[in-house]
Amino acid sequence: MSEINRIPEKKSHLANWAVGGMTIVAAALVLAVLAQTPVGTSVTNFLSWAFSTNNVQTMWYITRSAGLAAYILMWLSVAWGLAVSSKILDNLLHRSFTYDFHQFLSLLALGFTALHVIVLMFDKYLPYSVAQILVPFISPYRPVWVGIGVIGLYLSVLVTVTFYLRGRIGMKAFRWIHMSSLLGYLGVLVHSILSGTDSSLTSVLLL
C-alpha cells in the first residue's frame, strides 16, 4: 500500500524536474532573443567590460574551473551512490533523501560538465567546433585523452537518462548500465590528469 501511495509523489517529482528543465530552456531562448536587441547589445558590452569576457583567457579560466567543479561533483556522486547501494547510510539518513541527493549530485555534475564543454566553442585561443566536442578522438588538443573524456561524458549521460527509464528497461538492465558509471568516472579521471592544463599543480593532483 505504501508503494502505491508513493507513485503520485514520484510522478509529481518528475513533473517538477521537467517543468524546471523547460523553464531553463525557455529562459535561455528569451535571453538569446534579447541579446539581439539594442538593449541586449548594451548589456552584453557592459558585461564584457565588467568581467573581461572579451579577454582571450577568460573562457579558458571558465572551462578549467567548470571542469574541476564537474570532477568533484562526479566523484561525490559516485561515492554517494556506492554508499547508497551498500546501505551504510540507512541508519543516518532517510533512504528517499539519499536517493534524491545522489540524483541531484549527478545532474549538477552534468550541468558543470556542459558548461565545461560549451565554453570551449567560444574560446578565442583554441575554439572547438560542435563535431570536435561531440565526436571522440578528433580534438585538436590531445585527441586521445580528450576523446576518453567525451566517452566518459556519454556514459554519465546514459546512466542519468536510464535512471528515469528504469521502469521500462527493467531493474536488471538498469543495474548493469548503472555500473558503467564507474567506467565513466575512470574515463573522466584519466581525461582530467592527462589533458588538464592544471594537472601539474600539486593541489589538483591531490584532488
Q: Which three cell numbers stand for residue 151?
A: 566517452
Q: What is the mean pLDDT of the chain?
A: 83
Could you read off the pLDDT of 11-65 as tens digits, one per residue?
555 556 656 656 766 676 676 677 778 887 887 777 677 666 666 678 888 899 9
Domain positions in the chain are 1-53, 55-206
Nearest to residue 155, comparing CAs of 61, 49, 74?
A: 74
